[in-house]
């Protein structure tokens, strides 16, 4: 895509792009990737993605990454991206967001980098206004709302395998609630209360909890999540989940990987909604919409 953009093959898209959103591969910036950063197999795509967005030059660029990017070489890959966007004229802001505080029943924590062309910003708006102030998650943000009535085969863990922990005071705490362990502990061997949010989903995992961990549901069962339940914790639309499950017939391994690689939708939607309604000028949104309408209109034959 970067090569195509550099060759000018995507230039006709420029007028119809309002927001460029991307979440380039994160393993090289996560603890699982051993901090290889831009020297890793896919870590260099973080900076390549800067160049692709800059070439298209949309009014708004939104980038998402694991917070581990700050731990690699003093966060230099992140700050290099900030400097690059500023060098070409964008105003830049960033914020670490908690998905559970935007309606996603997951505790996934990510950093968002937002770059906006100053001429597209409303009067009086600066980079300090690119994000809303987060509160705490509501009581309705919990795994229990994502569960099927009956767990699919192979998801339930025998109760005798679980060591229950003493009850903890959760007043004022909106994160995952650990209630037990299985064997050695760790994510795949940890048990959480389904009346709280899910722990951060992985693309794969070990132990009874696999990529999702184990949860105690309202019926007292200990069970991990199916990939379809895991997708609900990331606010995937019901019709899209049904499409993947029933029409595409996506296998479970691929479905877990898809969910583990995703950006929780409610969290991203809140970032986008704020930018569109409170940061950029209405006429910028209207211009992009008109350009898209023109591109999608059927072509009409011309007279000879």
Domain ranges of the chain: 2-136+264-291, 143-260
CB count in 10 Å sphere of residue 205: 19
Per residue, what are the HEC states of 81-136?
HHHHHHHCCCEEEEEEEEHHHHCCCECCEEEEEEEECHHHECCCCCHHHCCCCCCC
Which residue stretches of the chain have pLDDT < 70? 31-35, 297-304
Per DSSP bridges, beta strands 190-193 and 178-181 are antiparallel
Domains 2-136+264-291 and 143-260 share a fold: no
The closest of 95, 98, 229 to 174, measured between CA atoms, is: 98
Q: Contact, 189 vs 182, CB < 8 A? A: yes
Q: How many residues does the chain have?
A: 304
Burial class (CB in 10 A: 0-12, 13-18, 19+), 221: middle
What pLDDT score was predicted for residue 299?
A: 59
Q: How far apart are CA 185 and CA 207, in angstroms?
A: 9
Domain 2-136+264-291 sits in CATH 3.40.50.150: yes
CA torsion, ordered 178, 181, 185, 186, to nearest 10 deg: -40
What pLDDT score was predicted for residue 304?
A: 47
What pLDDT score was predicted for residue 298?
A: 67
CATH code of the domain made up of 143-260? 3.90.120.10
Return left, alpha or beta for 124; rule: phi > 0 is left, psi -120 to 50 is alpha, else beta. left
The torsion angles phi and psi of 13, rounded to 5 degrees, stand at: -85, -20
3-state class percentages of the chain: helix first, strand second, coil last, to nearest 5: 40, 15, 40
């Amino acid at each position: 895509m970067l090569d195509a953009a550099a060759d000018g093959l995507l230039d006709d898209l420029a007028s119809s792009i309002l927001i460029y959103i991307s979440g380039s591969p994160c393993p090289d910036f996560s603890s699982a990737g051993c901090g290889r950063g831009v020297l890793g197999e896919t870590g260099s795509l973080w900076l390549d993605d800067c160049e692709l967005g800059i070439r298209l030059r949309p009014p708004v660029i939104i980038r998402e990454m694991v917070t581990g990017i700050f731990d690699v070489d003093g966060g230099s890959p992140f700050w290099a991206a900030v400097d690059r966007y500023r060098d070409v004229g964008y105003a830049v802001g960033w914020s670490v967001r908690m998905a559970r505080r935007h309606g996603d029943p997951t505790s996934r924590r990510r950093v968002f980098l937002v770059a906006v062309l100053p001429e597209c910003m409303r009067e009086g708006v600066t980079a300090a206004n690119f994000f809303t102030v987060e509160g705490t998650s509501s009581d309705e943000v919990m795994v229990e709302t994502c569960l099927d009535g009956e767990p699919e085969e192979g998801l339930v863990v025998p109760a005798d395998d679980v060591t229950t922990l003493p009850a903890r005071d959760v007043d004022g705490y909106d994160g995952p609630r650990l209630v037990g362990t299985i064997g050695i502990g760790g994510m795949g061997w940890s048990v959480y209360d389904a009346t709280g949010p899910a722990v951060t989903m992985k693309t794969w995992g070990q132990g009874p909890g696999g990529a999702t961990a184990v949860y105690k549901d309202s019926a007292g069962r200990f069970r991990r999540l199916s990939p379809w339940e895991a997708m609900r914790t990331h606010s995937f639309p019901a019709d899209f989940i049904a499409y993947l499950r029933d029409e595409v017939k996506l296998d479970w391994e691929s479905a877990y990987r898809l969910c583990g690689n995703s950006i929780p939708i409610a969290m991203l939607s809140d970032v986008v909604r704020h930018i569109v309604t409170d940061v950029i000028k209405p006429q910028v949104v209207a211009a992009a919409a008109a350009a898209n309408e023109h591109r999608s209109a059927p072509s009409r034959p011309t007279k000879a």
